[in-house]
Amino acid sequence: MGVLFDYFAAADRPTALDWAIGPGGDWLAEGQSLDEAGADWIDMKGIDPHVVLGQLVAFAEGRPYDVHGTGPELLWPDAREWPPERPAAPGAESPWDSGLHLTELPDAWRDRLAAIEEEHVPMLALQWYDIEEVDFTDFPDCEATIRSFAGLASRARGAGTHLYCRCCV
């Protein structure tokens, strides 16, 4: 089973929810793709927002990674609206079984990623390439991935938008 992660910029949470999950968060409705929505987005396959991206942000900040620190916030499924332990009604499906999750990255992460300077990419890549949670195809792929994140974050910061991650299992 593969896990895909799409990172994108959106003006606000309702827009991100419509683009990533479906209109009004209705995951059973036909929605539009990120391309159709005109979103600025990147496909990062196995790079999860919590551990893998969190480590890149920590390296960029020059600090140790802290799994318990401030990180991405789960927006969907909404645990207050549909607690994960609540069973689905007969004949209904739980959004937790959809394989979709949407998280919002902290603006501080967006700003840190946007501030990565080209001259620092090789050193960050050396650190990030060695983490056990991801297997980059090669070192240049790791560098290119950092540049992709830095570019998306820079464009989002410049536009005053926020970064989100859609996970599809």
Q: Give 109-161 pLDDT, tens digit per residue.
A: 999 999 999 999 999 999 999 999 888 889 999 999 999 999 999 999 999 99
Bigger pLDDT: 58 vs 98: 58
CATH number of the domain enclosing 60: 3.40.1760
The rounded radius of gyration (Å) of the Cα atoms in the chain is 16
Q: What is the mean pLDDT of residues 58-75?
A: 91
Model-level pTM? 0.91
Q: Is 131 inside any structural domain? A: yes
**How many separate domains does the chain show?**
1
Q: Is 103 inside any structural domain? A: yes
- Mean pLDDT, all residues of the chain: 89
Q: Is 136 inside any structural domain? A: yes
- Residues 34/43, Cβ–Cβ less than 8 Å: no
Q: Is 87 inside any structural domain? A: no
Q: Is 46 inside any structural domain? A: yes
167 φ, ψ (degrees, to nearest 5): -105, 130
Q: For the sheet containing 100-104, what is the strand order? A: 40-43, 4-10, 162-168, 100-104, 73-76
Tell whether the model's pLDDT for residue 69 goes beyond 90. no
Domain that holds residue 74: 4-82+93-168
